[in-house]
Amino acid sequence: MQNEPIKDIVIVGGGTAGWMTAAALSTVLNGRYNIRLVESDEIGIVGVGEATIPMIQRFNQVVGINEQEFMRETQGTFKLGVEFVNWGKQGDRYMHGFGRLGQDLATVAFDQYWQKMRRLGKAAPLEQYSITRMAAKANKFMPPRRDVANSPLNDIAYAYHFDASLYARYLRKLSEGRGVQRIEGKITRATQREPDGFVDAIELESGVRVEGDLFIDCSGFRGLLIEQTLTTGFEDWSHWLPADRALAVPCESVPSLTPYTRATAHKAGWQWRIPLQHRIGNGHVFCSRFISEDEAASTLLSNLDGKALAEPRLIKFTTGMRKQAWNKNVVAVGLAGGFLEPIESTSIHLIQTAIARLIEFFPDRSFNPVDVTEYNRQSRFEYERVRDFIILHYHLNQRTDSEYWTACANMAIPETLRQKMAMYRARGRVVRVDNELFSEVGWIQVLEGQNMPVDAFSPLVDVQSEADIHEYLESVRSVIAQCVDVMPDHAEYVKKFCAAA
Ligand code: FAD
């Protein structure tokens, strides 16, 4: 028998998580539910999540976002990957580019042939077999040409950089246009009903009481409902991901508009560089046990491309996840649900998948525990797999110049990551489990980029002759180089794209 539907949805918080949730639900629920969003201008948003991964295009499609309007309104740029500087060793530089590596030849994956030819000294660096990596290096960009079959141009995976405040504003306009009601004000407390402890209302400083059936906690690190009200508990992962602070500062733009995020490792952390149309976003993520805030600020400011446009802003955090993302009638989305630190720009993606999962397991008044348990199982799986990928960046280093990096190299790692690294070492193979976020190609680029030794490759590589493999690799490499030659400059492309009606 179908249970009674819920009616009132209350979204607590209007950062990226709150407004993405509002935009998605107001689109998908077709005006059948009453959606209200409460936020406080005085408290504001964390305002630093400005780099994304390609899956965000799916969110934009579902919500019906026009890409040109979106790029214009958020001062957006295109992103083809992340460049890592000084991660494996000081002086190392590699890119994790989106999309595929090479083209499939026959029996085994492209990278297996590359492993063999590399040993023979007959392969080019891995990046030369990736169109996104080569285009990024040349500051070129264009979206995939779906009309050109069997060409790397058909296969350009990309994401965006955007101004987080403008993004929240853009999604707000869209959501309000679809019936979401915004309520301004500071929430002082939540009340719970008897006997099950479900949240039944939130109260604002102004005395206004907002009642609801389903509460989506998008209140950021505070976790107003999921933690402060329901004391759900937080699983602390700082023994694996020890960074606990970030200093963020925007600076003036410089002429080359790079179509990638840069992550430069420093003494006790790393610095991001996110190019937007109107400014560059920068931030130093660091571990306060190894460096003072003053030194971290001075490192950040001495590594900017242009003049700083503000004083550095300090953000404190603990890496980890909420023990349950969904507890009673509260679902935590965004930073209220957990934070893994921003090295691979996964946080906005985790907002997107949390919303997709909420839609899949959308409750009625019974809040069926079976659905809630499955929702939480899937959230945990996703978080843990992303966590492993991020730990890899820290753990797989050969730096000897700082206590921090040595500690990361020597730390105990989760068993799931240990197995993945062992598998790669044995045969250069990555096994993607279920629908974990990062693909084999993502893992391979980081493992290779940070100098993971590989003992052997698949014996099936030898089914092809060495001459055939060489010719195959060469043809992939040269076709990619030719394709990159014809691609437009990123800055020019963005300008034309945003100017078009
Ligand atoms: P917030 O932006 O903090 O929003 C919280 C909302 O709750 C605000 O509207 C606030 O006003 C409201 N609120 C809180 N308390 C109250 C109250 N009492 N009453 C009323 N309203 C209240 N993600 C990426 O994908 N890519 C990145 O490159 C990236 N970089 C990051 C860098 C750093 C240093 C950090 C810390 C995070 C980064 N993230 C990144 C994560 C990203 O910033 C967040 O996932 C995203 O901004 C979502 O935040 P949020 O909406 O959950 O929280």
Instruction: Report strand pairing: 261-266 vs 81-85.
Output: parallel
Contacts 24+ apart (CB under 8 A), 149-153: 151/479, 151/483, 152/103, 152/479, 152/480, 152/483, 153/483, 153/486, 153/487
Domain that holds residue 434: 100-155+404-490
Residue type at position 81: G
Do 65 and 169 fall within a single domain? yes
Same domain, 147 and 289: no
Would you say 89 is a known binding-site residue?
A: no
CA of 206 to the centre of ligand 1 (A): 24
pLDDT for 414 beyond 60 = yes
Tokens 């989506």 belong to residue: 216
- Residue 367: CB atoms within 10 A of its CB come to 17
Given a cut of 80, whether residue 293 has pLDDT beyond it is yes
Task: Kindly report the number of other CB atoms within 10 A of residue 193's CB atom.
Answer: 12
**Is 382 known to sit in a ligand binding site?**
no
* Lowest mean pLDDT, pick from 2-16, 275-289, 347-361: 2-16
Q: Which one, of 471, 379, 444, 463, lies nearest residue 100 by Cα? A: 444
Amino acid at 241: L
Residue 16 marked in a binding site: yes
Whether 397 maps to a domain, the answer reads no
Q: Can you tell me the distance from the alpha carbon of 90 to that of 204, in angstroms, rounded to the nearest whole number?
A: 51
Which of residues 100 and 323 earns the better pLDDT score?
323
Mark whether 70 and 120 lie in a shared domain.
Answer: no
The answer on 408 and 305 residing in a single domain is: no
Residues 306, 325, single domain; the answer is no
Q: Is residue 291 part of a domain?
A: yes
In-domain check, residue 223:
yes
- Is the beta carbon of 224 within 6 A of some atom in ligand 1? yes
Q: How far apart are CA 234 and CA 225, in angstroms?
A: 13
What are residue 258's DSSP bridge partners? none
Our answer on whether the CB atom of 230 is closer than 6 Å to any ligand 1 atom is: no
Final residue belonging to a domain, choices 316, 346, 361: 316
Atom of ligand 1 nearest to the CA of 43: 11
Do 81 and 133 touch, CB atoms closer than 8 A?
yes
Whether residue 398 is contained in a domain is answered as no
The answer to whether the pTM exceeds 0.95 is: yes
Residue 35 has pLDDT above 80, yes or no: yes
Residue 363 has pLDDT above 90, yes or no: yes
Q: What is the share, in percent, of the chain residues with pLDDT greater than 70? A: 99
Catalytic residue among 7, 79, 89, 307: 79
CA of 431 to the centre of ligand 1 (A): 33
**Residue 79 appears among annotated catalytic residues:** yes
pLDDT of residue 1: 52
Distances (CA, A) of 26 to 3, 21, 349: 22, 8, 19
Check if 281 has its Cβ closer than 6 Å to any atom of ligand 1: no
Q: Which of 28-32, 135-139, 361-365 is predicted least confidently?
A: 28-32
List the structure tokens of 449.
Answer: 């980029």
Nearest residue by C-alpha to atom 42 in ligand 1: 49
pLDDT-derived band of residue 113, with 50, 70 and 90 as boundaries?
very high
**Residue 200 near residue 213, CB atoms below 8 Å:** no
3-class secondary structure, 429: coil
30 pLDDT higher than 90: no
Chain centre to alpha carbon of residue 457: 31
Q: Are residues 480 and 337 in the same domain?
A: no
C-alpha span between 471 and 378 (Å, rounded): 44
Q: Is 79 annotated as a binding residue?
A: yes
Q: Which residues of 417-443 are buried (b: 16+ CB within 10 A; e: fewer)?
A: beebbeebeeebbbeeeeebbbebbbb
Pocket test for ligand 1, best of 226, 335, 382 (most atoms within 8 A of CB): 335
In percent, how much of the chain has pLDDT > 90? Answer: 93
Average pLDDT, the chain: 96
Residue 2, pLDDT score: 63
The predicted pLDDT at position 435 comes to: 84
Is the CB of residue 44 below 6 angstroms from any atom belonging to ligand 1? yes
Which atom of ligand 1 lies nearest, measured to the CA of 220?
Answer: 53
Instruction: Answer whether residue 434 shows pLDDT above 90.
Output: no
pLDDT confidence tier of residue 299, bands split at 50, 70 and 90: very high
The verdict on the CB of residue 48 being under 6 Å from ligand 1 is yes
As a whole number, mean pLDDT of residues 134-155 equals 93
Task: Quick: pLDDT tens for 218-234.
Answer: 999 999 999 999 999 99
Report how far ligand 1's centroid is from the alpha carbon of 328 (Å). Answer: 23
Do 168 and 234 have their domain in common?
Answer: yes
85 vs 190: CA distance, rounded Å:
46
Structural domain count of the chain: 3
Compute how many other C-beta atoms are within 10 angstroms of the C-beta atom of residue 188: 12
Rounded average pLDDT over 157-175: 96
Which CATH number covers residue 308? 3.30.70
The answer to the question of residue 90 being in a domain is: no
Domain identity same for 277 and 417: no
Residue 109: both structure tokens together = 């994956």
Task: Tell me whether 0.90 is exceeded by the ipTM.
Answer: yes
C-alpha 246 – ligand 1 centre gap (Å): 13
Q: What is the per-residue burial (b if ≥16 Cβ within 10 Å, else e) of 45-66?
A: bbbbbbbbbbebbebeebbebe
What is the predicted pLDDT for the residue at 501?
64
What is the pLDDT averaged over residues 104-116?
87
Q: Is residue 392 included in any domain, yes or no?
A: no
In 3-state terms the chain splits into helix, strand, coil percentages (rounded to 5) of 40, 20, 40
Q: Give a yes or no: residue 501 inside a domain.
A: no
Are residues 357 and 289 part of one domain?
Answer: no
pLDDT average, residue stretch 394-414: 97
In angstroms, rounded to a whole number, what is the distance separating the alpha carbons of residues 102 and 131? Answer: 8
Which pLDDT belongs to residue 391? 98
For residue range 440-470, list pLDDT tens digits in order: 999 999 999 999 999 999 999 999 999 999 9
Bridge partner residues of 407 (DSSP): none
Q: Are residues 308 and 416 in the same domain?
A: no
The C-alpha atoms of residue 131 and residue 477 are separated, in whole angstroms, by 9
| Average pLDDT, integer, range 393-404 | 96
Do both 225 and 262 map to the same domain? no
Query: Is 482 found in the same domain as 449?
Result: yes
Four-point Cα dihedral 450, 452, 453, 454, nearest 10: -120
335 is in an annotated binding site: yes
CA of 47 to the centre of ligand 1 (A): 6
